Amino acid sequence: MSKNVYVFAEQRDGNIQKVAYELVGKARELADTLDEKVYAVLVGQGMDAQAGSLIAAGADGVVLVQDEMLAEYTTEAYTKAVVEVIREKGPEIFLIGATAIGRDLAPRVSARIHTGLTADCTGLAIDEASRNLLMTRPAFGGNIMATIVCEDHRPQMATVRPGVMKALAADSTRTGEVEELKVAFSAADMPVEVVEVIREERTSVDITEAKVLVSGGRGMSDAENFNALLDPLAEVLGGVVSGSRGAVDAGWIDHECQVGQTGKTVRPDLYLACGISGAIQHVAGMEGAEYIVAVDKNDGAPIFDIADLGVVGNVDTLLPKLTEAIKEYKE
């Protein structure tokens, strides 16, 4: 009998990634509906001290798999570790972050245990009648939302992009059990040797971490206008500049800063959309923002359907005035 909701708690350099806490938060909600428990699966080396943070984030327990072979991520060794946990524990649901590591790991694991995998889910819920997991994700180029059910195989597996789910506030009074599961690794489990890890230097700020995003679209007209109007506004607001795919394709901003289905999912306190029409693929990446302000000259732009505050007007005249007004207000 499959039981309980499991989350792969991704860590890099010994630091548990934010997406793990977000997934534990969602898993808590799913498990409460099923009246089951949440377990985080922490794979690595020397991770004992970190396990408690997953319990504070909502897990009932942590399954630790540690070995020197797991110090750095490799597909084979991590797949073996996770597959062993699934075979030993028999989860009902298994969630993985759709990060570079998660996108590599999840399909391997699902193939090895012969179950399905729904990638890049934007919504997860329990169908109370069947107790199946309803996994919702954009389909057909983002034009429809498809809800997928894995009826016949267990666990029901899904990946979810960082920023889509909301982590619960950490509660250090929560208690839970940390269990170490021994997995026997041999040289045959390591067909790849990690010779050196070279980290990519990040030049731009991570837009998923920003509290305020000033986002520009094709309505900003050209690269010069994009920078001249958005940079000072982001600065006075203590925010970061991001963009729609329209702006990225035009070469006005780096793809790293693209918001949306093929960009990043963001959840800032304030999202200011400037000259962005609000295509479904864009909205999929920012609708979780706390407060959305949209500036667009077309009063029929779909961005106004989801904006908390909509301003119909020309960005060329409005944005400099807004920047000045905020500057004056702050002085």
Binding residues for FAD: 218, 244-245, 258-262, 275-282
The site map against ligand FAD for 198-217 (x = CB under 6 A) is: -------------------x
**Piece in contact with ligand FAD (CB under 6 A), picked from 23-31, 167-175, 178-186, 312-320:** 312-320
Contact flag: residue 191 with ligand FAD (CB under 6 A) = no
15, 75, 130, 314: which one contacts ligand FAD (CB under 6 A)?
Answer: 314
Q: CB of residue 18 vs ligand FAD: minimum separation in angstroms?
A: 20
Q: CB of residue 109 vs ligand FAD: minimum separation in angstroms?
A: 26
Residue with tokens 């020309």: 314
Instruction: Please state, in angstroms and rounded to a whole number, the distance separating the CA atoms of residues 315 and 275.
Output: 7
Whichever of 90 and 142 has its CB closer to ligand FAD, that residue is 142
Whichever of 151 and 299 has its CB closer to ligand FAD, that residue is 299
Q: CB of residue 222 vs ligand FAD: minimum separation in angstroms?
A: 11
Instruction: Please state, in angstroms and rounded to a whole number, the distance separating the CA atoms of residues 62 and 73.
Output: 19
141, 222, 290, 291: which one contacts ligand FAD (CB under 6 A)?
Answer: 141
Contact flag: residue 276 with ligand FAD (CB under 6 A) = yes
278: left (phi over 0), alpha (psi -120 to 50) or beta: left
* CA 292 to each of CA 153, 224, 247, 270: distance values in angstroms, whole numbers, following the listed order: 40, 25, 19, 6
Q: Say if CB 232 and CB 323 are below 8 A apart.
A: yes
CA Rg value for the chain: 22
Instruction: Please state, in angstroms and rounded to a whole number, the distance separating the CA atoms of residues 34 and 128.
Output: 8
Contact flag: residue 225 with ligand FAD (CB under 6 A) = no
52, 107, 116, 142: which one contacts ligand FAD (CB under 6 A)?
Answer: 142
Contact flag: residue 279 with ligand FAD (CB under 6 A) = yes
Name the DSSP letter for residue 258.
Answer: B
Contact flag: residue 163 with ligand FAD (CB under 6 A) = no
Which ranges of 35-146 would DSSP assign to H, the alpha helix? 51-56, 75-89, 100-112
**Burial (Cβ within 10 Å: 0-12, 13-18, ≥19) of residue 125:** middle
Q: Which residues bind ligand FAD (CB under 6 A)?
A: 141-142, 217-219, 244-247, 258-263, 275-277, 279, 281-282, 285, 296-298, 301, 314-316
